[in-house]
Copies of this chain bind each other. A is one copy, B any other.
Amino acid sequence: MENTSLAGVKALVFDTFGTVVDWRGSITQEGEAWGKARGLQIDWARFADRWRAGYAPSMDKVRKGQLPWTKLDDLHRALLEDLLKEFHIEGLTEAEKDHWNHVWHRLKPWPDSVAGLTRLKKKYLIAPLSNGNVALLTNMAKNSGLPWDAILGAELARHYKPDREVYLSAADFLGVKVPEVMMVAAHMGDLRAARELGLRTGFIYRPNEYGPTRQADKANPGDFDVVSTSMLDLASKMGA
Protein backbone atom coordinates (compact mmCIF):
# COMPACT_ATOMS: atom_id res chain seq x y z
CA MET A 1 0.00 0.00 0.00
CA GLU A 2 1.30 3.43 -0.89
CA ASN A 3 0.12 4.94 2.37
CA THR A 4 0.51 3.16 5.70
CA SER A 5 -2.29 5.23 7.28
CA LEU A 6 -4.64 3.14 5.14
CA ALA A 7 -3.90 -0.03 7.09
CA GLY A 8 -7.08 0.38 9.15
CA VAL A 9 -9.46 0.63 6.20
CA LYS A 10 -12.07 -2.16 6.30
CA ALA A 11 -14.69 -1.02 3.81
CA LEU A 12 -14.67 0.76 0.48
CA VAL A 13 -17.87 2.50 -0.62
CA PHE A 14 -18.31 3.78 -4.14
CA ASP A 15 -19.96 6.53 -6.00
CA THR A 16 -21.45 4.73 -9.01
CA PHE A 17 -22.56 7.11 -11.82
CA GLY A 18 -19.33 8.01 -13.57
CA THR A 19 -17.07 6.21 -11.09
CA VAL A 20 -18.17 2.58 -11.58
CA VAL A 21 -20.45 2.85 -14.61
CA ASP A 22 -20.39 4.92 -17.79
CA TRP A 23 -23.78 6.65 -17.70
CA ARG A 24 -23.18 8.82 -20.78
CA GLY A 25 -21.90 6.06 -23.03
CA SER A 26 -24.57 3.61 -21.90
CA ILE A 27 -27.51 5.98 -22.45
CA THR A 28 -26.11 7.13 -25.79
CA GLN A 29 -25.65 3.57 -27.00
CA GLU A 30 -29.12 2.46 -25.95
CA GLY A 31 -30.69 5.61 -27.40
CA GLU A 32 -28.98 5.15 -30.75
CA ALA A 33 -30.24 1.57 -31.09
CA TRP A 34 -33.73 2.56 -29.99
CA GLY A 35 -33.87 5.68 -32.17
CA LYS A 36 -32.60 3.85 -35.24
CA ALA A 37 -35.42 1.30 -34.97
CA ARG A 38 -37.90 4.21 -34.85
CA GLY A 39 -36.24 6.33 -37.50
CA LEU A 40 -35.53 9.18 -35.03
CA GLN A 41 -32.71 11.68 -35.63
CA ILE A 42 -31.58 12.59 -32.12
CA ASP A 43 -28.24 13.55 -30.61
CA TRP A 44 -28.33 10.89 -27.92
CA ALA A 45 -25.17 12.05 -26.18
CA ARG A 46 -26.87 15.40 -25.76
CA PHE A 47 -29.99 13.61 -24.53
CA ALA A 48 -27.86 11.86 -21.89
CA ASP A 49 -26.16 15.13 -20.93
CA ARG A 50 -29.49 16.94 -20.58
CA TRP A 51 -30.93 14.17 -18.40
CA ARG A 52 -27.86 14.22 -16.22
CA ALA A 53 -27.98 18.02 -16.03
CA GLY A 54 -31.33 17.77 -14.24
CA TYR A 55 -29.93 15.42 -11.62
CA ALA A 56 -28.30 17.80 -9.13
CA PRO A 57 -31.08 20.42 -9.18
CA SER A 58 -33.70 17.70 -8.57
CA MET A 59 -31.84 16.28 -5.61
CA ASP A 60 -31.24 19.77 -4.26
CA LYS A 61 -35.01 20.24 -4.01
CA VAL A 62 -35.10 17.21 -1.72
CA ARG A 63 -31.98 18.31 0.14
CA LYS A 64 -33.48 21.75 0.81
CA GLY A 65 -36.87 20.36 1.83
CA GLN A 66 -38.74 21.74 -1.21
CA LEU A 67 -39.69 18.13 -2.00
CA PRO A 68 -40.30 15.33 0.52
CA TRP A 69 -38.01 12.32 0.26
CA THR A 70 -38.23 11.08 -3.32
CA LYS A 71 -36.18 8.19 -4.68
CA LEU A 72 -33.96 8.77 -7.68
CA ASP A 73 -36.10 6.62 -10.02
CA ASP A 74 -38.94 9.08 -9.44
CA LEU A 75 -36.74 12.15 -9.90
CA HIS A 76 -35.39 10.63 -13.13
CA ARG A 77 -38.93 9.95 -14.33
CA ALA A 78 -40.06 13.54 -13.80
CA LEU A 79 -36.98 14.76 -15.68
CA LEU A 80 -37.68 12.30 -18.49
CA GLU A 81 -41.12 13.83 -19.11
CA ASP A 82 -39.52 17.21 -19.78
CA LEU A 83 -36.78 15.62 -21.84
CA LEU A 84 -39.21 13.82 -24.13
CA LYS A 85 -40.84 17.19 -24.87
CA GLU A 86 -37.49 18.91 -25.40
CA PHE A 87 -36.39 16.26 -27.91
CA HIS A 88 -39.84 15.96 -29.53
CA ILE A 89 -40.16 12.27 -28.74
CA GLU A 90 -43.87 11.58 -28.85
CA GLY A 91 -46.39 8.80 -28.41
CA LEU A 92 -44.59 6.68 -25.80
CA THR A 93 -46.74 4.38 -23.70
CA GLU A 94 -46.32 4.34 -19.91
CA ALA A 95 -44.53 0.99 -20.27
CA GLU A 96 -42.12 2.48 -22.81
CA LYS A 97 -41.44 5.47 -20.54
CA ASP A 98 -40.79 3.11 -17.63
CA HIS A 99 -38.44 1.09 -19.77
CA TRP A 100 -36.56 4.23 -20.76
CA ASN A 101 -36.43 5.44 -17.17
CA HIS A 102 -34.86 2.13 -16.19
CA VAL A 103 -31.96 2.71 -18.57
CA TRP A 104 -30.26 3.93 -15.37
CA HIS A 105 -30.62 0.38 -14.02
CA ARG A 106 -28.85 -0.92 -17.13
CA LEU A 107 -25.79 1.34 -17.15
CA LYS A 108 -22.64 -0.51 -18.14
CA PRO A 109 -19.49 -0.60 -16.01
CA TRP A 110 -16.23 0.91 -17.20
CA PRO A 111 -14.10 -1.95 -18.59
CA ASP A 112 -11.95 -2.20 -15.44
CA SER A 113 -14.73 -2.00 -12.83
CA VAL A 114 -15.79 -5.62 -12.37
CA ALA A 115 -12.22 -6.95 -12.37
CA GLY A 116 -11.05 -4.28 -9.93
CA LEU A 117 -14.00 -4.71 -7.56
CA THR A 118 -13.53 -8.49 -7.62
CA ARG A 119 -9.97 -7.99 -6.38
CA LEU A 120 -10.98 -5.41 -3.77
CA LYS A 121 -13.77 -7.66 -2.47
CA LYS A 122 -11.22 -10.27 -1.37
CA LYS A 123 -9.71 -7.82 1.09
CA TYR A 124 -12.45 -5.30 1.90
CA LEU A 125 -16.18 -4.94 2.34
CA ILE A 126 -17.38 -3.22 -0.83
CA ALA A 127 -20.68 -1.45 -1.42
CA PRO A 128 -22.06 1.34 -3.57
CA LEU A 129 -22.74 4.59 -1.68
CA SER A 130 -24.71 6.22 -4.43
CA ASN A 131 -27.60 8.60 -4.86
CA GLY A 132 -29.23 5.82 -6.90
CA ASN A 133 -32.04 3.97 -5.12
CA VAL A 134 -31.71 0.39 -3.94
CA ALA A 135 -33.63 -1.14 -6.88
CA LEU A 136 -31.54 0.81 -9.39
CA LEU A 137 -28.25 -0.26 -7.78
CA THR A 138 -29.39 -3.85 -7.28
CA ASN A 139 -30.53 -4.26 -10.88
CA MET A 140 -27.39 -2.54 -12.15
CA ALA A 141 -25.24 -4.98 -10.20
CA LYS A 142 -27.25 -7.98 -11.35
CA ASN A 143 -27.11 -6.90 -15.01
CA SER A 144 -23.36 -6.37 -14.99
CA GLY A 145 -21.94 -8.65 -12.32
CA LEU A 146 -20.81 -5.92 -9.94
CA PRO A 147 -19.87 -8.07 -6.91
CA TRP A 148 -21.11 -5.83 -4.07
CA ASP A 149 -21.27 -7.18 -0.51
CA ALA A 150 -24.24 -4.92 0.28
CA ILE A 151 -26.25 -2.14 -1.38
CA LEU A 152 -25.96 1.16 0.49
CA GLY A 153 -26.78 4.71 -0.46
CA ALA A 154 -29.04 7.71 -0.29
CA GLU A 155 -32.32 5.79 -0.08
CA LEU A 156 -31.26 4.10 3.17
CA ALA A 157 -30.25 7.41 4.75
CA ARG A 158 -33.18 9.27 3.13
CA HIS A 159 -30.71 12.00 2.28
CA TYR A 160 -28.82 12.75 -0.91
CA LYS A 161 -25.06 13.23 -1.10
CA PRO A 162 -23.37 15.46 -0.20
CA ASP A 163 -25.57 15.47 2.94
CA ARG A 164 -23.51 14.14 5.83
CA GLU A 165 -26.12 11.52 6.77
CA VAL A 166 -25.32 9.44 3.68
CA TYR A 167 -21.57 9.18 4.36
CA LEU A 168 -22.05 8.46 8.06
CA SER A 169 -24.70 5.81 7.34
CA ALA A 170 -22.10 3.66 5.57
CA ALA A 171 -20.04 3.15 8.73
CA ASP A 172 -23.15 2.62 10.83
CA PHE A 173 -24.68 0.00 8.51
CA LEU A 174 -21.40 -1.85 8.05
CA GLY A 175 -20.60 -1.83 11.76
CA VAL A 176 -17.22 -0.14 11.40
CA LYS A 177 -15.75 3.16 12.51
CA VAL A 178 -15.92 6.18 10.21
CA PRO A 179 -12.14 6.29 9.49
CA GLU A 180 -12.31 2.59 8.58
CA VAL A 181 -14.42 3.53 5.55
CA MET A 182 -12.97 4.86 2.30
CA MET A 183 -15.21 6.78 -0.07
CA VAL A 184 -14.21 6.17 -3.69
CA ALA A 185 -15.31 8.56 -6.43
CA ALA A 186 -14.30 10.23 -9.67
CA HIS A 187 -15.66 13.50 -8.27
CA MET A 188 -13.67 15.74 -5.96
CA GLY A 189 -16.75 17.31 -4.32
CA ASP A 190 -17.99 13.90 -3.19
CA LEU A 191 -14.59 13.07 -1.73
CA ARG A 192 -14.18 16.43 0.00
CA ALA A 193 -17.58 16.01 1.69
CA ALA A 194 -16.59 12.51 2.86
CA ARG A 195 -13.17 13.65 4.09
CA GLU A 196 -14.72 16.47 6.10
CA LEU A 197 -16.55 13.81 8.13
CA GLY A 198 -13.48 11.65 8.71
CA LEU A 199 -13.78 9.04 5.96
CA ARG A 200 -10.74 8.04 3.94
CA THR A 201 -10.84 9.03 0.28
CA GLY A 202 -9.92 7.32 -2.99
CA PHE A 203 -10.02 9.13 -6.31
CA ILE A 204 -10.38 7.37 -9.68
CA TYR A 205 -9.74 9.43 -12.80
CA ARG A 206 -12.47 8.90 -15.39
CA PRO A 207 -11.45 11.19 -18.26
CA ASN A 208 -14.34 10.15 -20.52
CA GLU A 209 -17.22 10.57 -18.11
CA TYR A 210 -18.57 13.72 -19.78
CA GLY A 211 -17.43 13.02 -23.33
CA PRO A 212 -14.81 14.85 -25.40
CA THR A 213 -15.81 18.46 -24.75
CA ARG A 214 -16.18 18.68 -20.98
CA GLN A 215 -13.24 18.08 -18.67
CA ALA A 216 -13.57 15.48 -15.96
CA ASP A 217 -12.21 16.09 -12.45
CA LYS A 218 -8.50 15.29 -12.26
CA ALA A 219 -6.83 15.04 -8.86
CA ASN A 220 -3.13 15.37 -8.21
CA PRO A 221 -1.13 12.86 -6.17
CA GLY A 222 -1.63 13.75 -2.51
CA ASP A 223 -4.99 15.45 -3.01
CA PHE A 224 -6.68 12.37 -1.49
CA ASP A 225 -5.51 9.30 0.43
CA VAL A 226 -5.30 7.40 -2.86
CA VAL A 227 -5.31 8.88 -6.35
CA SER A 228 -5.73 6.25 -9.05
CA THR A 229 -6.38 5.91 -12.75
CA SER A 230 -8.71 2.89 -12.71
CA MET A 231 -10.37 0.38 -10.42
CA LEU A 232 -7.46 -1.98 -11.04
CA ASP A 233 -4.96 0.71 -10.12
CA LEU A 234 -6.98 1.42 -6.96
CA ALA A 235 -6.92 -2.31 -6.10
CA SER A 236 -3.15 -2.39 -6.51
CA LYS A 237 -2.70 0.73 -4.40
CA MET A 238 -4.93 -0.77 -1.69
CA GLY A 239 -2.90 -3.98 -1.65
CA ALA A 240 -5.74 -6.07 -3.09
Contacts and interface: CB of A to CB of B under 8 A. Distances in A.
A149 B155 contact: no
A206 B156 CA distance: 32
Contacts of A155: 173
Contacts of A176: 135
Contacts of A230: none
Contact of A149 (B127, B138, B174, B175): B138
A149 B136 CA distance: 12
Interface in A119-157: 125, 127, 133-139, 141-142, 149-151, 155-156
Interface in A168-206: 173-176
B174 A150 contact: no
Most interface-central of A127, A150, A155, A156 (chain B CB within 10 A): A150
A165 interface: no
A134 B173 contact: yes
A73 interface: yes
Contact of A150 (B73, B125, B138, B173): B138
B156 A149 contact: no
A165 to B, nearest CB: 14
A135 B175 contact: yes
Contacts of A127: 138
Nearest to A127: B138
A175 B125 contact: no
Contacts of A135: 173-176
A135 to B, nearest CB: 3
A135 B177 CA distance: 12
Interface of A: 73, 125, 127, 133-139, 141-142, 149-151, 155-156, 173-176
21 contacts: A73-B175, A125-B138, A125-B139, A127-B138, A134-B150, A134-B173, A135-B173, A135-B174, A135-B175, A135-B176, A136-B175, A137-B150, A138-B149, A138-B150, A138-B174, A142-B149, A149-B151, A150-B150, A150-B151, A155-B173, A156-B156
Given A134-B173, A136-B175, A138-B174, 15 more contacts: A125-B139, A127-B138, A133-B175, A134-B150, A134-B174, A134-B175, A135-B173, A135-B174, A138-B149, A139-B175, A141-B149, A149-B151, A150-B150, A155-B173, A156-B156
